[in-house]
Amino acid sequence: MQSTTTLLDPTAELQTAARQLLPRLESIAGLTVGLLDISKPRGKEFLDEVQKHLEAAGAKVKRYSKPTFTRIAPTELTQQISVECDAVIEGLAD
């Protein structure tokens, strides 16, 4: 049945149909930002630089790394970041 991939919007249609991003932070001052190193070479140097900028803006920074860039982050790691941080920056490629 073709209609299984089309749904009717149950809402008042006040928002766009596309999935919504979470609300963006207005400021990072005083908040905790996680930096997730996906474990590609030289990621550390780049994130060190990012950390300096974030701290200059008043954020507290926590560092994390994925065991390997070839796979998605383990659930335990994403849960840990969601508990400990207000925002996260993840490097996606070289």
For the range 43-48, what are the long-range contacts, defined as Cβ-Cβ under 8 Å and sequence gap of 24 or more?
A: 43/91, 46/91, 47/91
> Which residue number, 22 or 56, has a Cβ lying nearer to another protein?
22
Asked if residue 86 lies in contact with residue 60, where contact means CB atoms within 8 angstroms, the answer is no
Helix or strand run (H / E) with residue 44? helix 43-56
- Closest approach, Cβ 16 to another protein, in A, equals 10
Q: Is 75 in the site for another protein (CB under 8 A)?
A: no
Site for another protein in 1-20 (CB under 8 A): 1, 3-14, 17, 19-20
Q: Are 84 and 31 in contact (CB under 8 A)?
A: no
Shortest separation between residue 63's beta carbon and another protein, angstroms: 29
Count of positions on this chain that bind another protein (CB under 8 A): 16
| Site residues (vs another protein, CB under 8 A) | 1, 3-14, 17, 19-20
